[in-house]
Amino acid sequence: MLQEQQIAQIICAHGATITTTRATLQKAPNSLLTTSPESTANSDEKLVRILVEALRRHDLSIIVSESFDQWARLAAEAKRLGLISFVEAACPSTISISCHAALSTGRINPEVTFRKVLRIVVSGKVIMCRAVFGDSLNECRDGGGTDFEMDRYTSRFFLKHSNLEKAFDQLATAGYRLIHSNTFAPSQHTNKHASKDDSQFIHHSQFVFHRQPKLFGGHKSRFPAPNSAISSPRSNFERFKASFHQ
């Protein structure tokens, strides 16, 4: 049985009360829920309850009813209270992947082509790009500052590796789905450093990935917050493959 000092009362607008434990609130020690209990005096009890319930779960996942349509208000409330990971979870996110690639035809077997990706450029919200790609992200070309870092967008990140499939796996694992792709071939030419029998076809490709805050299917909507447990590799692959057919 919980002792009285372990129980916390959160008072919201119109006197609505949410009962939880101090241990639950300590999962976000720097949030206003912990440091300033009166910060919820004018808050919508339904929105605060969703955030508190998420803190109770070991994976910090947000679960709402299928009819829930107040994601913008939920994100704003989470941001005001200092629950940054929930802001990310409650906001839609779009990340674009662009690359220059060369298809080479060798002189030994002209029917065999090899792809060489020169550089993979990443565009999107800074905080989301970091969450998806982690240490794979190279930020040396980005000249952004620390002001409003959470809301800043960039088109100057690129990946330290040149493997498109690895980038796609990272996006699929984070819940992103491919919604558009295109390829532009500016020219076809012979590499001046190659022999007469070696030719290269240069093209530019762009892939647009999107993640909705709400996942459809079933009676509940479940969205894992960043750094939470992820689903199995097979389920990620099936979800990513299905996005090509929608």
Q: Name the phi and psi angles at 54, rounded to 5.
A: -65, -40
What does 151-192 look like in DSSP terms, one character per residue? G-EEEEEEESS--HHHHHHHHHHTT-EEEEEEEEEEEEE--T
Domain ranges within the chain, ordered by starting residue: 4-90, 93-211
Judged by phi (left if over 0) then psi (alpha if -120 to 50, else beta), residue 82 lies in left
- Cα 54 to Cα 69, 111, 176, 224: the distances in Å are 17, 55, 21, 10
Residue 96: exposure state from Cβ atoms within 10 A (0-12, 13-18, ≥19): middle
Q: Structure pTM?
A: 0.59
Q: For residue 213, give every residue at least 6 positions away whose Cβ sits within 8 Å of its Cβ, in sequence order, or none.
A: 71, 75, 89, 90, 91, 92, 223
Question: What's residue 245's pLDDT?
Answer: 47
Digit-coded pLDDT (tens) for 162-219:
999 999 999 998 889 999 999 887 655 555 554 444 456 688 899 999 988 744 333 3
Q: Name the phi and psi angles at 210, rounded to 5.
A: -135, 145
Digit-coded pLDDT (tens) for 73-125:
888 899 899 988 788 778 888 999 999 888 776 666 666 667 788 899 999 98
Residue type, 13: A
Structural fold of domain 4-90:
Potassium Channel Kv1.1; Chain A (3.30.710)
DSSP 233: H
Q: Residue 6 and residue 20: Cα distance in Å, rounded?
A: 9
Encoding tokens for residue 43?
């808050």
Digit-coded pLDDT (tens) for 216-239:
333 344 444 444 433 344 444 455
